[in-house]
Homo-oligomer: A and B are copies of this chain.
Amino acid sequence: MSRWEPNARERLAQAALDLYAERGFEQTTVAEIAKRAGLTERTFFRHFADKREVLFAGGSELQELMVQGVLASPDDAAPIDSVAAGLVAGGETLQERRAFALKRAGVIAASAELQERELIKLASLATALADALRRRGVAEPTASLTAQAGIAVFHVAFARWVEEANEAGLPDVIRDSLDELRAVTAGTR
């Protein structure tokens, strides 16, 4: 087997996810993932630190996309609209990877340990969004509150997108959920 393998990372990630969904995360070994992908364990460890990282490596990329979305929003955008721009940017990418994202969500939902890890990633995303707002000159506590509210919207929108298996794309579900939050805080819901 040559050292260079085309799309090794993607093949490993897909093989891992398929096995986690079939057998459960705990019951799957790195050896089985490598075998399913037609690669070696050594190749696996060139791409991922461990089998959990397969599920969470994309989170850093998603966070960076959302932060860039916040920073790229118009100068005169209200903080909540900057955060919405960031969330929608992330939502577009998840929408493009819909099959992977939905299967991943099912694997996470089946494991208390993975759910805890996901919560911690969401908290770190909130911190990153608040940092981005402060870089745009938004003061505290507005920055933290807007970021936390954004995460609340994302959390609920993502769950709706997964559960309803609806026609609407994630960006639209995010926009709808933000409108719903506006109605909730205005007391009209």
Contacts and interface: CB of A to CB of B under 8 A. Distances in A.
Interface of A: 78-81, 116, 119-120, 123, 141-142, 144-146, 148-149, 151-153, 155-156, 159-160, 177-178, 180-182, 184-189
A175 to B, nearest CB: 13
A116 to B, nearest CB: 6
Nearest to A151: B152
Count of this chain's copies in the oligomeric assembly: 2
A128 to B, nearest CB: 15
Main SS of chain A's interface residues?
Answer: helix
B185 A182 contact: yes
Contacts of A184: 78-80, 142, 145-146, 149
A170 B49 CA distance: 43
Given A119-B120, A181-B185, 13 more contacts: A78-B184, A80-B185, A119-B119, A119-B123, A142-B189, A144-B156, A145-B152, A145-B153, A145-B177, A145-B184, A146-B184, A149-B149, A185-B186
Contacts of A187: 78, 80-81
